[in-house]
């Protein structure tokens, strides 16, 4: 049998040395990694990052909303494009919001480089608010910036007409026609321009000029013919003693009114048109009587009386009845 190799006996000194050796080994080992301490640093790093980012964003937004130009802070309102103010002002002017339209159009006008269109629109708004001096100033400035602007001349002509400065109004219409001849214009029709000049010539008692303008207006294919053009040309013919031509024009005016009545949507429109037709029949009757056309005069008065009855216009009915009785006595 093999004998087991004898193990050396552990002496007391050996037993005391073992723990010391273990302690030496423990002291020389590397320190363990603590993940919790790193997460704390990372957490505070994220917090500080977001704080810095927040201040940066706030600073940028303030610079965007309130930029500084030449050491002057620009307000948010000033950053709205001028075109937006122009469009808003135009819409409000059409809607009848005159004061608001003036405010928006004023914001759209840069004093250093004003828009001609904005000046014209604001002038129209001023004219509607009866601020004629301000309107004239805007039209004058628009024409100064664009001497070939037909709309500016036309609007100033309307203003001078309201101011009863007919000579100046006529001069503006002449300039508008000259500017309009240089190029097409979707806003102004030649028919309307000639009709407007015809009216001014009529008021200035330039009968031939009025007839020529009204005739030119009627010859234009653009736009719709209004009964006013025929009725006002009839007045010019009457002033010249051309009664037959005047009667024909009154007849044409009544014909257009009868067509317009078919398209009316309110009772007030029908009454206004009917009242005008009644007046034209009366004037035609007087002219026919001057020419000795008694039967035609009677027909005109009968037509006028029929309209007066439909309108329940007792004063007109009484006047027309008296004229008809006098005509029957002739």
Higher pLDDT, 110 or 11: 110
Taking the model in full, what pTM does it have? 0.71
User: Looking at residue 85, what is its pLDDT?
Assistant: 85
Mean pLDDT of the chain: 82
CA distance 191 to 200: 15
pLDDT number for residue 51: 54
pLDDT band at 126 (very low <50, low <70, confident <90, very high): very high
Output 139-145 pairs: Cβ under 8 A, ≥24 positions apart.
141/114, 142/116, 145/114, 145/116, 145/119
Give CA–CA dist 123/39, Å, rounded. 71
User: With helix as H, strand as E and coil as C, how does the chain read?
Assistant: CCCCCCCCCCCHHHHHHHHHHHHHHHHCCCCCCCHHHHHHHHHHHHHHHHHHHHHHHHHHHHHHHCCEECCEECCCHHHCCHHHHHHHHHHHHHCCCHHHHHHHHHHHCCCCCCCHHHHHHHHHHHHHCCCHHHHHHHHHHHHHHCCCCHHHHHHHHHHHHHCCCHHHHHHHHHHHHHHHHCCCCCCCCHHHHHHHHHHHHHHCCCHHHHHHHHHHHHHCCCCCCCHHHHHHHHHHHHHCCCHHHHHHHHHHHHHHHHHHHHCCCCHHHHHHHHHHHHHHHHHHHHHHHHCCCHHHHHHHHHHHHHHHHHHCCHHHHHHHHHHHHHHHHC
| Tens digits of residue pLDDT in 260-281 | 999 899 999 999 999 999 999 9
Categorize the per-residue pLDDT at 52 as very low, low, confident or very high, splitting at 50, 70 and 90. Answer: low
Residue 180 vs residue 142, higher pLDDT:
142
- CA distances (Å), origin 255, targets 36, 149, 182, 219, 248: 99, 36, 35, 17, 11
Name the most confidently modeled range: 45-54, 282-291, 319-328: 282-291
What tens digit of pLDDT does each residue of 5-51 get? 444 444 444 444 444 444 444 444 455 545 545 455 554 455 555 55
How far apart (Å, rounded) are the C-alpha atoms in residues 129 and 295? 50
Residue 75: pLDDT band with limits 50, 70, 90: very low
pLDDT digits (tens, 9 = 90+) for 147-158: 999 999 999 999
Q: How many CA atoms lie within 13 A of 171 on its CB side?
A: 5
Closest to 132 measured CA to CA, from 168, 179, 83, 104: 168
């Amino acid at each position: 049998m093999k004998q087991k190799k004898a193990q050396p006996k552990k002496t007391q000194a050996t037993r005391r040395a073992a723990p010391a050796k273990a302690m030496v080994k423990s002291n020389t080992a590397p320190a363990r990694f603590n993940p919790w301490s790193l997460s704390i640093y990372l957490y505070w790093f994220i917090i500080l990052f977001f704080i810095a980012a927040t201040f940066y964003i706030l600073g940028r937004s303030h610079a965007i909303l309130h930029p500084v130009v030449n050491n002057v802070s620009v307000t948010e309102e000033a950053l709205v494009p001028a075109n937006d103010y122009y469009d808003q002002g135009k819409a409000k002017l059409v809607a009848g919001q005159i004061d608001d339209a003036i405010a928006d159009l004023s914001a759209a006008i840069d004093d250093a480089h004003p828009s001609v269109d904005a000046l014209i629109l604001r002038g129209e708004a001023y004219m509607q608010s009866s601020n004629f001096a301000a309107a004239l100033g805007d039209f004058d400035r628009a024409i100064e910036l664009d001497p070939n602007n037909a709309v500016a001349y036309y609007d100033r002509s309307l203003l001078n007409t309201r101011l009863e400065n007919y000579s100046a109004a006529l001069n503006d219409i002449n300039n508008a026609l000259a500017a309009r001849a240089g190029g097409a214009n979707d806003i102004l029709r030649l028919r309307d321009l000639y009709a407007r000049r015809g009216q001014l010539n009529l008021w200035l008692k330039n009968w031939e000029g009025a007839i020529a303008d009204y005739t030119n207006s009627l010859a234009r294919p653009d736009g719709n013919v209004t009964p006013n053009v025929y009725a006002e040309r009839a007045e010019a013919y009457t002033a010249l003693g051309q009664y037959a031509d005047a009667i024909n024009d009154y007849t044409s005016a009544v014909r257009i009114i009868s067509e317009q009545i078919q398209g009316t949507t309110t009772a007030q429109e029908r009454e206004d048109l009917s009242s005008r037709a009644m007046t034209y029949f009366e004037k035609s009757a007087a002219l026919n009587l001057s020419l000795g056309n008694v039967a035609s005069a009677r027909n005109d008065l009968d037509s006028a009386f029929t309209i007066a009855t439909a309108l329940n216009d007792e004063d007109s009915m009484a006047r027309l009845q008296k004229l008809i009785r006098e005509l029957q006595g002739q």
